[in-house]
């Protein structure tokens, strides 16, 4: 059971990070002003703030003033945010956490402000959302550079930026490319190993960086090649894979009011999850045909969704994914043992458990 104090501390991390982001002047320098406002919309819409938590609690393992890593934590969160803005364009999603996605909101701006017709307004929204994400990329780097010489030395600044540019960017975007390519392949041709590799690249990589950045800032390092940095990264990497597997489970089994997005939308979007791949692999011919009939469907009834859930239970796919997620959490906890003992270490252990016990 997750402790109430953990939930409160995670909420405090979210508030510290959000305050730092929302009060930051960078978006106010953007013209036109509505573009700068859109840069903040996802932050104001809420979220778990796992990346800032990993960063700040990792920093607290190695230094007393863990908030010296706050610029890096904010950078990780905004870096994550621009990927969401672009991902929503790629996935053609109209809402996120029950609110309009950036391209949807900006298309509505064109309609309201310029009486733009629907097709042109939609193109406007897509174009401006791309620019929003581009600006957020610059903003993420700005969070790091402006702290140089005050929160941490210049060599740490360069180390963080170099890691983002040469490691995180190509791996994360490569994972996104593979994920998009999956949509154009036959489902049965996509192996579980390929899916796991995509998840490592698209999700685990940035979570790994977030934890590593906390250690790098806390110790004011000029390298990511340090035993504590490696251990923190390995912890977050494994926990991140478990997080994504739980996300895939929730996409089918969650309470929609808690999840913040339509349950079963992964079927409609023909999203290739490990849960889906294992279901197809383990189910019988009749079950397999039914699962395939849901893929790409514009609407899925609650009865059909419940039948799909039962197939996932009966064929053993759900249990297999739950066991795999627990395996990754166990691996994460082993890596955590390599890090210094402190209250922050307890929070990181609880954060790992949260990854697979959450219902949203």
For the chain, the domains span 4-357
User: Which tens digit of pLDDT belongs to each residue from 112-163?
Assistant: 999 999 999 999 999 999 999 999 999 999 999 999 999 999 999 999 999 9
DSSP-derived secondary structure letter, 187: G
How far apart CA 12 and CA 14 sit, in angstroms, is 5
Nearest-angstrom CA–CA distance, 73 and 210: 7
Rounded to 10°, the helix 343-357/4-22 angle is 90
Residues 309, 291: contact at Cβ < 8 Å? no
Nearest to 217 by CA among 56, 16, 17, 5: 56
Question: pTM above the 0.75 mark?
Answer: yes
Q: What angle do CA 70, 1, 358 make, to 5 degrees?
A: 60
Contact call for residues 129 and 89 (beta carbons, < 8 A)? yes
Q: What is the pLDDT of residue 263?
A: 86
Cα gap 358→298, rounded to integer Å: 28
* Higher per-residue pLDDT: 98 or 89: 89
pLDDT at 75 > cutoff 80 = yes
Per-residue pLDDT of 171-195, as tens digits, reads 999 999 999 999 899 998 999 999 9
For 203-253, the pLDDT digits (tens) are: 999 999 999 999 999 999 999 999 999 999 999 999 999 999 999 999 999
pLDDT for 21-30, tens place per residue? 999 999 999 9
Let me know: does 275 contact 317? Beta carbons within 8 Å: yes
**Which pLDDT belongs to residue 360?**
82
Tell me: cis bond preceding 351? Omega within 30 of 0 counts.
no
**What is the pLDDT confidence band of residue 14, given thresholds at 50, 70 and 90?**
very high
Distance CA 360, CA 337 (A): 28
The CATH number assigned to the domain with range 4-357 reads: 1.10.600.10
How far the first Cα of the chain sits from its last, in Å, is: 16
Alpha helices (H) in the chain, listed in sequence order: 4-22, 33-38, 41-44, 50-62, 70-91, 102-114, 118-145, 154-163, 169-182, 192-199, 205-219, 227-253, 256-259, 265-268, 274-282, 285-294, 302-314, 317-336, 343-357
């Amino acid at each position: 059971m997750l402790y109430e104090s953990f939930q409160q501390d995670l909420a405090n991390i979210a508030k510290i990070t959000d305050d730092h982001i929302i009060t930051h002047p960078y978006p106010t320098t953007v013209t036109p002003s509505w573009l700068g406002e859109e840069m903040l919309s996802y932050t104001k819409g809420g979220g778990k703030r796992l990346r800032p938590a990993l960063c700040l609690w990792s920093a607290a393992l190695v230094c007393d003033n863990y908030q010296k890593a706050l610029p890096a934590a904010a950078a990780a969160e905004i870096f994550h945010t621009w990927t969401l803005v672009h991902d929503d364009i790629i996935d053609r999603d109209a809402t996120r956490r029950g609110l309009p996605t950036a391209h949807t909101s900006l298309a509505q701006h064109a309609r309201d402000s310029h009486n733009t017709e629907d097709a042109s307004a939609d193109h406007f929204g897509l174009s401006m959302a791309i620019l929003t994400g581009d600006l957020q990329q610059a903003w993420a780097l700005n969070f790091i550079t402006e702290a140089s010489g005050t929160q941490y030395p210049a060599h740490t600044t360069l180390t963080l930026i170099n890691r983002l540019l040469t490691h995180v960017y190509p791996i994360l975007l490569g994972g996104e490319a593979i994920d998009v390519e999956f949509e154009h392949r036959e489902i049965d041709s996509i192996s579980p190993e390929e899916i796991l590799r995509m998840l490592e690249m698209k999700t685990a990589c940035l979570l790994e960086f977030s934890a590593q950045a906390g250690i790098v800032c806390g110790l004011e390092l000029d390298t990511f090649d340090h035993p504590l940095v490696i251990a923190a990264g390995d912890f977050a990497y494994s926990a991140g894979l478990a997080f994504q597997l739980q996300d895939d489970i929730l996409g089918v089994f969650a309470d929609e009011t808690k999840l913040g997005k339509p349950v079963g939308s992964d079927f409609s979007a023909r999203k290739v999850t490990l849960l889906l791949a294992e279901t197809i692999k383990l189910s019988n011919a009749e079950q397999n045909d039914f699962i395939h009939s849901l893929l790409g469907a514009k609407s899925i009834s609650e009865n059909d969704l419940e039948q799909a859930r039962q197939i996932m239970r009966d064929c053993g796919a759900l249990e297999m994914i739950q066991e795999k997620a627990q395996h990754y959490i166990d691996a994460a906890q082993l890596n955590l043992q390599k890090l210094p003992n402190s209250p922050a270490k307890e929070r990181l252990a609880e954060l790992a458990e949260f990854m697979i016990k959450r219902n949203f």
